[in-house]
Structure 1
Amino acid sequence: MRTRLMLPVLLLLAAQAWSQTALQKFAVQSPLKKLKIDITVQDSVTYAVALNGKPVLLPSAISMHFGNIRAGRNAVVKQTHKHNVRSEITPPFGQFSRLKNNYNELEIDFEQHYSIIFRAYDEGIAYRFSTDFNEPVKVVSEQAIFRLAGDPEAVFPESDVYTSWEVPYVKYKNVSAIAEGKKAISPALFGQPDGVKIVVAESDLLDYPGMYLQKSGGTIRGNWAPYPAKTELGSWGNFVSVVKERKDYLAETPGKRAYPWRVVIATAQEKDLLVNQLIYKLATPPAIQDLSWIKPGKAAWEWWHDAMLPGSETPSGMQNRNTALYKKYIDFAAQNKLEYLMIDAGWSNVYDLKKVKPETDVFELARYAKGRNVDLFLWCVATTLLNDLEGNLDFIRSTGAVGIKVDFFDRDDQLAIQWFEKIAQAAADRHLMIDFHGCSKPTGLERKYPNIVNYEAVRGAECSKWDLTANPDQHLLTSFVRMPAGPLDYTPGSMRNATKETFKPVDPGLPSTQGTRCHELAMFVIFNQPLAMLCDSPMEYAKYPDVMQFLSAVPTAFEDTKALDGKVGQYAVMAKKKAGSWYIGAMTNWDARTVELDFSFLPDAKTYHMTLYTDAADAGTDASHYTVKTMQVTRKTRLKLRLAKGGGAVAMVRP
């Protein structure tokens, strides 16, 4: 009897001993110990994140399924490596000329020939899988769970499809209020009651589908477009590659590779989201050695205002886009020191870009522009470009153009993500810059290929032509949620400005925008746009020489950037430095408010000359009204600015 009782007891003790042996815990902290990642390895791999000792993410499971291999399940640790990195990145252009790249890293190698790398920066954390399989594999599925602590508020850029990134933001008081199954593009933002803001995103997306975020099982999980099985041309103009059928897996990929970073940005200072560069830091370093030909700048652009030049002797409008009309735009760009003219859709056949329309001589336009210190960007459709990528890019280069605007990708499955890199590399080989439109959100590819000078993936000014969604409320979410991902081609610059009550969409014709004139100008400072469009008509800008003084002077790439103040969805105040001068931008949502400018960011005690553009006293009822004044400031200056509803302010501060 005693023998029969002892056997179960021994088995129980053995099981407990095995369980205690199998459970392994690891941790990595950021350099200043702001953020901590706690990792647990047992039958699954989970990670938890704390900011200043308070939970941000509760233990969240991560795994990848490769056929008969399930990385992150029943994991057996082989060895670990720790790396403490203190380095510096020097971006060729952007919001900073130097970035501190300080992080602590833990790499866990597993017996099943894969690793998981965790990085802790003071501004956020990230993890990625890496595999060392001998044969190519199919990624059947990925598990990326983000178990947010508590029930935070959410800013969710909702999308029920895998084809659009120009979506409005939807605000929820709590994650629990998001409907089960509802999906959003990333990045998305979550806010805890104590003011901590969390942005969930990804970085270094290469040869893999883009990550969406979905409410599933009561929490937020990663979601991806399955691998395409059948595609055909359709959608807009019948020239978009549309996925009609999909496989039952995500990707076909080499066995030896690293996968995208899953990123969690967390901060107690929400204004810091305006300058967060974590996604850029995590991306692959430049693959291009000679960057001297890549030049950020501003561009005249005809599409938004339907190529209309009211009062001009030259016939204008979309039906009159020709060599003579485009020379007027080149003259405007030259007179106002704009580096580029963007020629949008219409200069060539959408199915064969080598078939140039005879009324628009792009060869002559490039020659004429070059003589006036202006260069050309030419628009094209992604599928058309890819039909003969090498030949088409050779042709574009032969015209004398220096860049391309590639539009209507409308996909981010694995094959589409391959297109972005393929185009970037081939364009770089020919010294062509790229502005991606109709594209998925940036994830740092512009670091690997700095010839990518902008991306759309934003609810931009074009929407003013047909709906109400491009408005100050959206702008003040875009600044905090979308901008951490990377550059955005919003295309600001409207000189027809309307209040919430007076705005009406116009298409075709001359559209207007919501918000004040100074709000529109502030986007040239607040938004990160290395290639910036001036969306309105040259004839309209000619009416406001003081506005053009600012638009001509404001750079699109800077040496340093300061987030002076800001609250998600409410207001933002920033200062950016270039060549000893500072450019200040402030903008608010539909709530009027007063913000204080604190000039202590100025680096020395000398006196600076400031030109200040502010909302006029009646800008709340006539959004086009503004005032301009000059004054002297020092680092001790404090200045209160009244921002109208949907208002803004800009300033140029020079030694």
Structure 2
Amino acid sequence: MKLKSIVFFLLLGFCQAWSQPLVFQSPNKKIAVTLEAIDGANKGEWFLKISHQSDTNVSEILPKINLGLSRSDQDFSKELLFLKASKPKMITEHYELPYGKKLVRDNQANEVVVSFENPSKAKLNLIIRAYNDGVTFRYEFPEKKGSYVVNDEFTAYQIPKESKRWLEKWNTANEGLYAESSEDKIQRQEWCYPALFNSSDKSSWFLLHEADLDRTYCGTKLSNKNDSNSYKLSFPDPADARGTGEPKPTISLPWQSPWRVITIGSLSDIVESTLVEDVSKPTDFKTTNWVKPGKVSWNYWSSNHGTKDFKTVCEFADLAVKMNWPYTLLDWEWDGMTNGGNLEDALKYIHSKGIKPLMWYNSGGDHTWVSSTPKDRMLTHQNRVEEFTKLKKLGVVGVKIDFFESEKQNMIQYYLDILEDAAQFEMMVYFHGCLVPRGWSRTYPNLMTYEGVRGAEWYNNVPEFTYTAPEHNTILPFTRNVVGAMDYTPVTFTNSQYPHITSYGHELALSVLFESPLQHLADRPEGYYNLPDEVKTFLKNVPTIWDNTKLIDGYPGQDVTIARQKDNSWYIGGISASECKEVTKKIKLDFLTEGTNYQALLIADGKHNKVFDIQNLVVNKNTIMDVKLLRRGGFAVSLIPMEK
């Protein structure tokens, strides 16, 4: 069977006839996209093919991406007639966000719209963009009326079996572990987003995800149940959320799907990419000056029912004050607070200390088995307006909402309803027990962070996290945290129910490695009070928002070192997962400003995993720092420019 191609040459015009060979490339020409017809004619099944030019060679990283949709009235996959490809359009954007791995964003893409029709003359468009750091595509039904159920989406990524992959088994809370596999070790099952792959020749990396999901569709996941090397998009399981909600989405025309996002390049390109937010809808918020990121004291990790105890709440408020953190979180059961005071007493105490409270809610409803209170206060628009009105009067500035348990269309609508109502009251939002980011932070800047990760809370849940956390922590910067804020609730030096075997240096490094505008620091007060002064100072000053992010080195499952910039200062965090040997890293500081000296505070592993080696150094961009990491160790550095 012969394959004929439609390839788009952006610089040479556009085509109306399907057989004219034209090329579609990214602006830097390192990524090429090809659209091919399986049967060699201009009618039938179609797929995309993607290649990437690395520093060493050109690699066909995705030899086939199946395309198409099935609606309740008709099919848009098997007999699609090519009509035309639009004249190529350059997409250029500049925007800013109040938080994230990079506050100022610039991106460029080449976009082509390919038009098809099926045998009944119904139209389907495929919108394709090639960015310098990836490829995105989405489906469009351009017709002006009609309402239908989408029975299936046939998007499927064919992955060469030799490609290494890091995938997390599907679970509704997105709180599993990533496992590495290739060739004969590949399992067939459903998988979470995002999914990381290394090309067969090892020269290129790519991350599969989706973005700009809105209330017109459901969240999808990846499934290779039918073919171990084909990852097809699948809809939510009918049993999710206790069987409530429809697993298949209902759409009204005209309609566009979420973007299918493939971030492509080196590991640095993956880690530093903002592609998921770049393709998402810009915000229409009039102002975001009330969106204020910062660090948060949090009592759940050390005391599961701590918020029921007024004195515990006060202790964590005091911790926030002493550490110069702006927030403290009242977790579940604040409505049952005793031992010297109730909620109103606690809020009065918190405000008297000059910090601000955040408060937890159960998402409520029949979709969750969890009965923890307060429950059902976020379920309807009326519920939310009543609750946000009360919270505003009480001086509460944000809410943490938990236990969603589904990515069906009705749950996506629920998430967005919460964000829109919260914005009317200038209320920040944190989703817990939830989906992973889909670019909503660009559309709704009051969405500060998400859980959607197996984080430090799991030291409270199962003994295995003690032994899996070191490796897991080195995978997250290349996977989950790439696509958006991740509240792992890091930086713990004492133990929860089950101990940690990561070093103190490893734990401190997580304050830089894991990006979250609201960073909930999880240890008990004495865990921070007993630290050396230099470490306490570091935790007081380390930002939660960044002007720039750079991967210095690393490999998923082994080690990772990341540098992040705020104003003229830089912070570095590095960790190792090694169980067997100590590691000495040479950290080049060539990203620093030419001609400027920096005061470096290096906090590394000491003689054993519960002490630090602290050094004050003067460095510049020509400096190479030697840093020793213990087994499962780590380090953190602050680099502050010195006055000339």
TM, length-normalised to structure 1: 0.85
**Aligned partner (choices 555, 580, 589) of residue 567 of structure 1:** 555
**Aligned partner (choices 44, 66, 74) of residue 61 of structure 1:** 66
Contact 1:403–1:434 (Cα < 8 Å) also in 2: yes
Match of 2:132 in 1: 122
Deviations 1:287-336 (A, max 9, x none): 312100001100011000017xxxxxxxxxx4784434322222221121
Cα distance in 2, alignment partners of residues 319 and 105 from structure 1? 52
Match of 1:3 in 2: none
- AA of the residue aligned to 2:289: S
> What is the Cα deviation at residue 273 of structure 1?
2.2
> What is the Cα deviation at residue 24 of structure 1?
7.0
Contact 2:18–2:82 (Cα < 8 Å) also in 1: no
Cα distance in 1, alignment partners of residues 639 and 338 from structure 2? 46
1:493/1:273 CA distance change after superposition, 3 Å:
same
Cα distance in 2, alignment partners of residues 389 and 26 from structure 1? 53
Match of 2:48 in 1: 47
Cα distance in 2, alignment partners of residues 626 and 97 from structure 1? 32
Contact 2:18–2:84 (Cα < 8 Å) also in 1: no
Contact 2:223–2:234 (Cα < 8 Å) also in 1: no
Is 1:154 paired with 2:144? Answer: no
SS of equivalent residue, structure 1 residue 514: coil
Match of 1:406 in 2: 401
1:543/1:179 CA distance change after superposition, 3 Å:
closer
Contact 1:224–1:413 (Cα < 8 Å) also in 2: no
- AA of the residue aligned to 2:199: Q
Deviations 1:148-198 (A, max 9, x none): 245312212012x5x230001122133x53233x11111111222432222
Match of 2:177 in 1: 168
SS of equivalent residue, structure 1 residue 415: helix
Match of 1:377 in 2: 358
Match of 2:76 in 1: 71
Cα distance in 2, alignment partners of residues 285 and 417 from structure 1? 18
Contact 2:311–2:339 (Cα < 8 Å) also in 1: no
1:453/1:140 CA distance change after superposition, 3 Å:
same
Cα distance in 1, alignment partners of residues 95 and 558 from structure 2? 31
Cα distance in 2, alignment partners of residues 430 and 375 from structure 1? 16
Please say which of residues 333-342 and 564-573 is displaced more in the overlay: 564-573
Deviations 1:27-80 (A, max 9, x none): 421110111110125301210000013201113221011123322432233443
Match of 1:212 in 2: 221
Match of 1:328 in 2: 315
Please say which of residues 30-39 and 587-596 is displaced more in the overlay: 587-596
- AA of the residue aligned to 1:32: N
Cα distance in 2, alignment partners of residues 164 and 86 from structure 1? 35
Larger Rg: 1
Match of 2:343 in 1: 362
> What is the Cα deviation at residue 126 of structure 1?
1.0
Alignment of 1:217-296 (within 5 A): 217-226=227-236, 241-243=241-243, 250-267=248-265, 269-296=266-293
Cα distance in 2, alignment partners of residues 493 and 452 from structure 1? 22
**Aligned partner (choices 91, 104, 123) of residue 113 of structure 1:** 123
- AA of the residue aligned to 1:31: P
Cα distance in 1, alignment partners of residues 253 and 448 from structure 2? 32
Is 1:599 paired with 2:589? Answer: yes
- AA of the residue aligned to 1:164: A
Please say which of residues 552-561 and 574-583 is displaced more in the overlay: 574-583
- AA of the residue aligned to 2:612: Y
SS of equivalent residue, structure 2 residue 154: strand
Cα distance in 1, alignment partners of residues 196 and 190 from structure 2? 13
Match of 1:394 in 2: 389
Match of 2:546 in 1: 558
Is 1:630 paired with 2:642? Answer: no
**Aligned partner (choices 205, 210, 214) of residue 197 of structure 1:** 205
Percent identity between matched residues is: 25
SS of equivalent residue, structure 1 residue 603: coil
Match of 1:29 in 2: 25
Cα distance in 2, alignment partners of residues 453 and 406 from structure 1? 12
- In the alignment, structure 1 segments of 5+ residues that lack a partner are 1-19, 232-240, 308-317, 350-355, 498-505
Contact 1:145–1:219 (Cα < 8 Å) also in 2: no
> What is the Cα deviation at residue 86 of structure 1?
2.8
Match of 1:10 in 2: none
SS of equivalent residue, structure 1 residue 366: helix
**Aligned partner (choices 194, 202, 205) of residue 187 of structure 1:** 194
> What is the Cα deviation at residue 407 of structure 1?
0.5
Cα distance in 2, alignment partners of residues 100 and 446 from structure 1? 16
SS of equivalent residue, structure 2 residue 379: helix
Deviations 1:182-222 (A, max 9, x none): 11111111222432222111111112222211112343233
- AA of the residue aligned to 2:554: G
Cα distance in 2, alignment partners of residues 513 and 296 from structure 1? 28
Number of aligned residue pairs: give it. Answer: 588
> What is the Cα deviation at residue 494 of structure 1?
0.8
Contact 1:145–1:220 (Cα < 8 Å) also in 2: yes
Contact 1:139–1:252 (Cα < 8 Å) also in 2: yes
- AA of the residue aligned to 2:469: N
- AA of the residue aligned to 2:584: T
Contact 2:299–2:306 (Cα < 8 Å) also in 1: no
- In the alignment, structure 2 segments of 5+ residues that lack a partner are 1-15, 38-42, 365-375
1:560/1:188 CA distance change after superposition, 3 Å:
same
Cα distance in 1, alignment partners of residues 100 and 228 from structure 2? 38
- AA of the residue aligned to 2:169: E
Cα distance in 1, alignment partners of residues 95 and 24 from structure 2? 22
Is 1:640 paired with 2:626? Answer: yes
Is 1:453 paired with 2:448? Answer: yes
Contact 2:431–2:451 (Cα < 8 Å) also in 1: yes
> What is the Cα deviation at residue 362 of structure 1?
3.2
Cα distance in 2, alignment partners of residues 106 and 366 from structure 1? 54
1:27/1:69 CA distance change after superposition, 3 Å:
farther
> What is the Cα deviation at residue 398 of structure 1?
2.8
Deviations 1:491-529 (A, max 9, x none): 0121127xxxxxxxx53xxx5323111111111111111
**Aligned partner (choices 421, 438, 441) of residue 443 of structure 1:** 438
Cα distance in 1, alignment partners of residues 633 and 339 from structure 2? 44
Match of 2:510 in 1: 523
Cα distance in 2, alignment partners of residues 625 and 359 from structure 1? 37
Please say which of residues 86-95 and 477-486 is displaced more in the overlay: 86-95
Cα distance in 2, alignment partners of residues 468 and 546 from structure 1? 32
- AA of the residue aligned to 1:442: P
Cα distance in 2, alignment partners of residues 29 and 276 from structure 1? 18
Match of 2:149 in 1: 138
- AA of the residue aligned to 1:290: T
Match of 1:91 in 2: 97
Contact 2:307–2:332 (Cα < 8 Å) also in 1: no
> What is the Cα deviation at residue 109 of structure 1?
2.6
Please say which of residues 134-143 and 252-261 is displaced more in the overlay: 252-261
Cα distance in 2, alignment partners of residues 604 and 242 from structure 1? 58
> What is the Cα deviation at residue 600 of structure 1?
1.1
> What is the Cα deviation at residue 421 of structure 1?
0.8
Cα distance in 2, alignment partners of residues 595 and 209 from structure 1? 44
Cα distance in 2, alignment partners of residues 122 and 523 from structure 1? 29
